[in-house]
Structure 1
């Protein structure tokens, strides 16, 4: 019998609001996670759990990480990605945009998040998780429903 690798699913939520230079996105500054620390990333993201849809995971992560209840989630893309040739590193990520939420975004997990910030999509910070920058730079333009990164 052939061993099969597993894709690890995760959901990402980009809160978006209008700004003076176009849309702004809320990002978190990662810290002490062991992965991409000191990089900006989606304010809410995490693994999809067993018996949970990607939409449900996005809603749960937004509540757990930034203390908001998201409204309508707009599906952006599903990204299959890898960092290395080793298939254990393959992931499937589901990206969502949200323009309506209840509550004020705040840091709920200070051990993993050094800060929250609103950034114009046209003025992202230098250190953004690379595959997330790929998505953010294509919002509203050339983002396809299925993308790949790292292959």
Structure 2
């Protein structure tokens, strides 16, 4: 169907993938804010991604919904209990880290209520948790984490990076 064939005029024209179709990895990220500060973890220097940089509490979806993944990861990584009913999507970053790299959809959810004090529960992945003022983030931060925080503060829901 082309745009002219659609009576609503909303169908997108077909796009050729040229045999380059790649599945996107789905990541979920927890945005916790308290007294104008956001929770970030310092990644272990030997971890597979972004060693010695600050990042959201995050994980990849397995055979579960994005919110179920978020709740699971919060408990596993930091001992935080998040009520899924109090979670809202606040930003999406569609990112490719390098030309030809694996595309990733990074969903950032805000939890308005949680229980527990962040603690390092996966020391091979995270060295520490800390609360950072949203207007004074650490210099060494995952670029799409900074982009998501900036987007949230500006009221934008979506950011593309690396395309």
Q: Could you say whether these structures have the same fold, taking a TM-score greater than 0.5 normalized by the shorter chain as the test?
A: yes
Summarize deviations over 1:34-81 as a string: whole Å, max 9, x none.
211000000x2000112x111111111101100111131121122211
2:140 aligns with one of 110, 113, 127: 127
Determine whether 1:13 maps to 2:26: no
Return the alpha-carbon distance in structure 1 between the equivalents of residues 155 and 117 of structure 2. Answer: 31
Q: Distance in 2 between matches of 1:140 and 1:84?
A: 26
Aligned to 1:64: 76
In structure 1, runs of 5+ residues without a counterpart are: none
Deviation at 1:105, TM superposition (A): 1.3
Q: Does 1:81 align with 2:98?
A: no
Distance change >3 Å, CA 133–CA 3, structure 1 → 2? closer
Aligned residues: 143
Establish whether residue 36 from structure 1 lines up as the match of residue 50 from structure 2: yes
Which is worse superposed, 60-69 or 96-105? 96-105
Q: Give the drift of 1:104.
A: 1.5
Q: Does 1:148 align with 2:160?
A: yes
1:99-120: CA deviations, max 9, x gaps? 3111221111011111111100
CA contact (8 A) 2:151 2:159 kept: no
1:136 and 2:149 are equivalent in the alignment = yes
Q: Answer 1 or 2: higher relative contact order, Cα 8 Å, separation at least 6.
A: 1
Higher Rg: 2
Q: Is the counterpart of residue 53 in structure 1 residue 65 in structure 2?
A: yes
C-alpha separation between the residues in 1 aligned to 2:152 and 2:122? 27
Structure 1 Cα separation of the partners of residues 144 and 28 of structure 2: 13
| Counterparts of 2:140 and 2:146, CA distance in 1 | 9
TM-score under structure 2 length normalisation: 0.81
Shifted more, 4-13 versus 96-105: the winner is 96-105
